[in-house]
A = this chain, B = another copy of it.
Amino acid sequence: MSASEKKIQFAVIGGGVIGGGWVARFLLMGFDVKVFDPDHEAELKINQVIENARRSLPGLFEYLLPDEGSLIFCSNISEAVSDVQWICEAIPEHLNLKQEVFTEIQAHCSKDAIIASSTSGFKPSDLQDVSSNTEQIIVAHPFNPVYLIPLVELVGHSKTTEKAAMILKQLGMHPLIVRKEIDAHIADRLLEAMWRESLWLINDDIATTKEIDDAIRYGFGLRWAQMGMFETYRIAGGEDGMEHFIEQFGPALKWPWTRLMEVPELSEELIKKIALQSDQQSDHYSITELEHIRDDNLVALMRSLKTKDWGVGNQLNAVDESLESTSVKPSEILTQRSPVLTSSRVVPTSWLDVNGHMNDSRYAEVFSKASDIILRRIGSDVDYIAQGFNYFTVDMQISYLNECLAGDKISVFTSIHLAEGKKLDLRHEMKNAQGTVCATCTQFLIHVDLTSRKSCLPTEPVASILMALN
């Protein structure tokens, strides 16, 4: 067995939100974990975090994760750390306490083990202060929820952080090696700056916590899920580049735009340094390419929140509601079996596949939404579902006749071929703006009781609406 194939064993000292998150990440990625936490509720708390991880982390991937590792609760540090390769420290942020724990860990662990502190703020040199073997103590600072957010800041001796980075990649994480130690590393310095400004805004009655949160999640937060601050601003600077952007916005540094006024001097040297780093980061893309990447990502991100009707997704759904009333008339009772318009939309960039056209499964999505409109128009709406009834699809057959490209306008017309007893048989036809048929679909649905999950006859108002169809 080669070194890379050998299964790493982990220990976690301290089982709070962060320690528990590490435990969950290790376990679900297939590794064994030993835990020590003197709190008698630690096991309960950690298991809650693992439950959260189980319901979310595996869904990130298109393949099954390896079998879960095993979890052992230990009664002391020595038992937890004696034969593992990675010891994760996640105890409260008190330097003396951490140093004491490191001393005990080092008395019992292998000299080659990595001792990784989750500290948000302390530097490795602070942590190593009383240590005999300083090189093995590093910072590996994760972000909550640790089982989902990939970033880990690594700070410490380069030999150890490089080895740690390899291991974190096996955990599906994104190691960021911080080359120079500093209080609060990188991310928490940025967070701390924003936090301090936020406190001022609340203190001075400018904004509430909700208003600040909304300013983030309906605004720049969407940009930052995909590009950071500098790549975003590079685009804003346009073809003139980062130097132009800084020159344009540099003067704001002298203005009272924040209460945090200890600003660096924006010398020519600093401007050049930023512009050069930005080039190295992004100049393999033109501004137009970056704009397209940014916009496609924003569309995908914003669309992804629609299902949960959360934040910007709720916002978009409200627009949809105002748009649908004029086209597919979801609240108008259906009176005919013959074709009615059930969808009228544009193909989003996020629906393309490797062939550069709308992926075959998205046709199913369009037809599925089209039948949702028919269902609403025959009375199987939110209220009916709340009563415990709806239709389930039993069979769907799609014939693909023409390609659809991003931006294509497509319409679906749906007719009711059969509506009898529990059965509902729909025929969909998808056309593009030129009137060419892109696909047809026959969809067979059956009426169900949502409590028993068994088929049953439709109740009111659906039964009567179906009866009255022409």
Contacts and interface: CB of A to CB of B under 8 A. Distances in A.
A216 B191 CA distance: 10
Contacts of A190: 194, 197-198, 212, 215-216, 220
Contacts of A407: 54-55, 58-59
A213 B226 contact: no
The binding surface of chain A is classed by DSSP as helix
Complex copy number for this chain: 2
A418 interface: no
B398 A395 contact: yes
25 contacts: A55-B292, A59-B346, A61-B319, A121-B252, A144-B235, A145-B294, A149-B219, A149-B223, A174-B315, A186-B201, A187-B219, A190-B212, A190-B215, A190-B220, A196-B260, A202-B274, A213-B281, A216-B229, A217-B227, A221-B225, A225-B305, A226-B310, A226-B312, A300-B304, A361-B362
Nearest to A177: B211
A394 B400 contact: yes
A149 B222 contact: yes
Nearest to A280: B210
B258 A193 contact: yes
Interface string A338-352: 000001111111111
A455 B192 CA distance: 59
A145 B302 CA distance: 13
B218 A176 contact: yes
A162 to B, nearest CB: 16
Interface stretch (A76-84, A129-137, A262-270, A460-468): A262-270
A299 B172 CA distance: 14
A40 B212 CA distance: 39
Q: Size range of the interface on A?
A: 35 or more
Nearest to A279: B209
Interface in A323-376: 323-324, 327-328, 343-352, 354-356, 359-365, 367-369
A148 B295 contact: yes
Shortest Cβ-Cβ A-B pairs, 8 listed: A213-B228, A59-B348, A260-B260, A221-B224, A151-B219, A364-B364, A63-B323, A304-B304
